[in-house]
Structure formats: C-alpha cells, structure tokens
Structure 1
C-alpha cells in the first residue's frame, strides 16, 4: 500500500500551492486513493477519496475544498452533487463524460487506468468533468492521452515500470508529459513526488 507525499505548485509560475499526503491500494475490484491536502503553511485545505472499479471507472468520489464538497459516481455518464459547508445549497449535475479530473494526482492515475493506451497507437480521446479547487465548480473538457514510452528501471526488488504519457488539452492544443509508475505519479505539471514509503502497487 503506497503512502507518501506530493508537492503541488502552479504549473506556470511554480508558486507553491501546498502538499497532498496520500495512501492508495489496489484490490480485486479496483483501486482506492485517499489523501489530505495542506496549504504551504501546513493548514488543512481539503481531501480526496476516490475509488475505481477494475475498468478504471469512478464508483465513488468525494472531494472537499474551501467549504465545498462534491460527491460523484459514474452513472449515465458521470453524476455528482456539489454542496456548500452548510449543506443547504446542493446542486446536482450530470454530463455525458467518461470520468472526473482535478488537481489531485489521483485523477491522472484514474484516467490512465480508464484509457490504458498502448505504445505506438494513436492518442485516445476522453471527455472529463474537471473539479478544481478552491470551489470545485464542474467544467467539462476533452483530453487526448498517448503512451510515449514504457521503461523498466532496476530497483532493489523487482523492476519498476515507468510509463511516460503525452497528455493533450483538446481545446487549446497544449501538451504536457505525465510520468506514472504503477499507482503513483512520479511527475506531472504542478505535481512532484516528494516522499514514498513503499513501492508503487502494480495493476493486474
């Protein structure tokens, strides 16, 4: 069960945004990721609880940030409920999308599991609902994912397979690299893996 810490920063000017302390685990029915997010000063800033089935679809999502909460699931596309801190102003939403995305590294793992592109094949396109802090307002976007390379790195135990993806934003044409090993993001725009207590889990 990998447990560790990501540092989060603005991908454009590198302003520190805080840290995400996480743990995740694979299982016979899928994958689960839980984390707590802190500000650069160390204060609590939110949390992530994401569970995927064995096909990479979100069977449970709960996000907290700045007094907002979103609960979501893959249902007739994706469906969610967004509420404020009092719970009085709940807004339901639905979109013809494949999954969710957001600032957490968990969503990069989720999308890679959903698409599972093979090396050398054309990019795979996916429609996602983005839920980004601080207010977690939903926004639908399209991305393309291509597997550029999969390379084995020697470790003290078994080889570590690092998958290098090229992710494109369809509306802007912007592309960026994402590096993933098992169920851990090694590096991506705005994300750096700072600490890992145990090796990444392997997906079957």
Structure 2
C-alpha cells in the first residue's frame, strides 16, 4: 500500500496512503494545516464517498447515478460531473482513472472544483488528454508514467500532471517528496 508525503505550495504537507479497496480504491490523507481527505471510489473510479475538511468547513459527497451530490454547511447540491478536483493529488488520480483514456485520446468533461479555504464548489469544463506514457526505471523495475494535459475550457490555461499507477508523481504546485511503497497499477 503506497504511503508518502506531498508538499503543496506554500509548504503544506499532505501525508497520504492509498490502496485497492473491495471493488474500488481508497485514498486518505492528513495535512499539516489540519485538513483531511477521505476518498473511496467504486470499480469505475466514480466517487462513492468523499469527505474533505478544512478548519471548521466540511464537504461530503459522492456519485448518485449520473450526478455527483455534495453537502456543505447543511445544504445539499447536485450536478452532472465526472468527478471532484481540489488541492489533493488523490482527486487527480481518481478523475484520470475514471476517464480510462488510451495514449493520444482526449475527452471534454465537467469537473466539480473544490476551492479552499471554505470548500466552495464550482463546475468547470475541462479537456483531459493522455499525452504520452513514458517508461522509467525505479528500484530495478520499469514503471509506466502517464502524462496528462488538462485544459480549462473557460480560460484556455493548460496544466500537466504525471501519474504512476495510483500516485501523482508531479502536478502543478505539488511535489512528491516521499513514497514508502511502490504505486498500485490497475
């Protein structure tokens, strides 16, 4: 089970663990600023259960049919979207895996973007592309690292993430500084 540490700019540490869970996958993390994330996805990588905390703010959510449901400040909301994104790399992994893209493929999706510190949610249109799969040597094994390009369709801003199995090895504003066990590959 991979365990490790991400550093978020400006210096917030996120200690995480992730592993296959029944028919899906589980990601949990504690942040040095007191925030937490618990994410459980189903076999299609859709969020079955999500809980994010930041100070006194709590967001709970998950998939209900084709929609995502979330509750904040006692109010329930729903929207058609592929997944949740926010500061945690675990959310990036879940969205990327749910898309099931082959190298060179791209898809336009609607994402629920969770913003700190109040855990406000807004729907954003994005284009995800699996730009390339590169093989790297790690501890005597060849490991595939996927490079995704994510385009915000409202602003045109493009970002890049790199995933090795169920671990984000690089993403904007995030650095993987410690990984105790190898990633799981699905």
- Aligned match for 1:179, one of 162, 170, 184: 162
Larger radius of gyration: 1
Measured against aligned partners, the alpha-carbon deviations of 1:67-118 in whole angstroms (never above 9, x if no partner) come to 10011011141011113xxxxxx11111121211111101110110111211
Q: CA RMSD in A?
A: 1.2
| Structure 2 segments unaligned to the other structure (5+ residues) | none
Aligned positions, number:
185
How far does the alpha carbon of each residue in 1:17-40 deviate from its partner, in whole angstroms, 9 at most, with x for none?
41111000024401100000113x
Counterpart contact for 1:125–1:144, Cα < 8 Å: yes
Distance 1:17 1:156 in 2: 28
* Number of the residue aligned with 2:108: 125
- Cα deviation for residue 157 of structure 1 reads 4.5
Superposition map of 1:1-204 within 5 A: 1-9=1-9, 16-39=10-33, 44=34, 46-76=35-65, 77-83=67-73, 90-121=74-105, 123-203=106-186
TM-score, length-scaled by structure 1: 0.87
- Structure with the higher strand share, 1 or 2: 2
Taking structure 2 as the reference length, what is the TM-score of the superposition?
0.95
| Aligned-residue offset at 1:4 | 0.3
